[in-house]
Amino acid sequence: MFMAPPATDIAPRDPLLPRIVRLRGKRREIRGVWSLEVVAEEGEPLDFAPGQFSMLTAFGVGEVPVSVSGRTRDGIGLVYTIRAVGAVTAALCGLRTGAPLGLRGPFGAGWPLEEAAAREVTVIAGGLGLAPLRPAIEAVLAAGGRLVLLYGARGPSEILYPADLARWQSARRAQVEVTVDHAGPEWHGHVGVVTRLVPRARFDPDTALALVCGPEIMMRFAVSSLREAGLSDARIFLSMERNMKCAVGFCGHCQFGPHFVCRDGPVLGYDRLAPLLRIEEL
């Protein structure tokens, strides 16, 4: 008689084989950007660590890496905020509720929240870079830590997660500053690049951690401003983007010096990144 092997003998899921998930819902955030809620077909909860990414497949089109931007309200699914800029991302954003898609992961190293819990954390985000930081922000506030959030967008109509920003701003231990590159007379907030907000941030450079995500040029200037404010390289963490394909360090597409961004990152300490970022076109 055939007997199924005990659960402990079942092989782990192949990291190169997508599992089938379903699109449970989606929401337009700003022009060209959608948040997709995905749940497992089996009904089991999907888990992740803040800062990790998944490989999402639009069947018949292709696969792309996308950072996890949160959990569904019931906690069983994951949320991905995606800008439709190419064939795969456009196909994912165009899926209808109930449609299947493929998911591998989550993969990679996340934000250092063990160190950040119940302490000062300064978050600097530019544009869609707020999406990978959203779960970390929620975790810091839930743990009772003090949050300083500096966020920059191109214009008022491109501010991501306005409801979340308002909620975070009302938190007792939070300082939230938002700036835009350009705006009309109806905008009464800050105007200018996000790094100009660093002098306004109230944090102790000897104890605070800084989490940074956005365009690479913005992150370089953010690091410079944080260092001028007194933070050491070991207290600054960046989420890096490179051309990730296999997501498990096999193919080498995302190699950045001695690191594979998919495996060793995407979150890396600036003390490890500084020598590499000085090398042109690396």
136-185 pLDDT, tens digit per residue, is 999 999 998 899 999 999 999 999 999 999 999 999 899 999 999 999 99
Q: Do residues 92 and 229 both lie within one domain?
A: no
CATH number of the domain bearing residue 217: 3.40.50.80
Tell me, what's the pLDDT at 116?
64
Angle between helix 162-169 and 130-142 (nearest 10): 30
Count structural domains, the chain. 2
CATH number of the domain bearing residue 94: 2.40.30.10
Q: Which residue has the tokens 């970022």?
A: 277
Q: Which of 107, 141, 167 is the last residue of a domain?
A: 107
Confidence category of residue 2, pLDDT binned at 50, 70, 90: very low
- The structure tokens listed for 68 are 């996890």
Tell me, what's the pLDDT at 280?
67
Q: Do residues 12 and 30 both lie within one domain?
A: yes
> How confident is the model over 259-277, as pLDDT tens digits?
899 899 999 999 999 888 8
Q: Is the pLDDT of residue 9 over 70?
A: no
Q: Which of 244, 233, 198 is nearest to 218 (CA)?
A: 198
pTM tops 0.85: yes
How many residues does the structure list for the chain? 282
Confidence category of residue 42, pLDDT binned at 50, 70, 90: confident
Which structural domain, as residue segments, surrounds residue 101? 7-107
Q: Give helix then strand counts, H and E, for the chain.
A: 7, 16
To the nearest whole number, what is the mean pLDDT of the chain? 91
Sheet strands side by side (includes 236-239):
190-191, 174-180, 146-153, 120-126, 209-213, 236-239, 267-269
Q: Do residues 140 and 226 both lie within one domain?
A: yes
Q: Do residues 64 and 196 both lie within one domain?
A: no
Q: Do residues 142 and 205 both lie within one domain?
A: yes
**Which DSSP string do the residues of 142-201 spell out, in sequence order?**
HTT-EEEEEEEESSGGG-S-HHHHHHHHTSTTEEEEEEES---TT--SEES-GGGGGGG-
Q: Do residues 80 and 119 both lie within one domain?
A: no
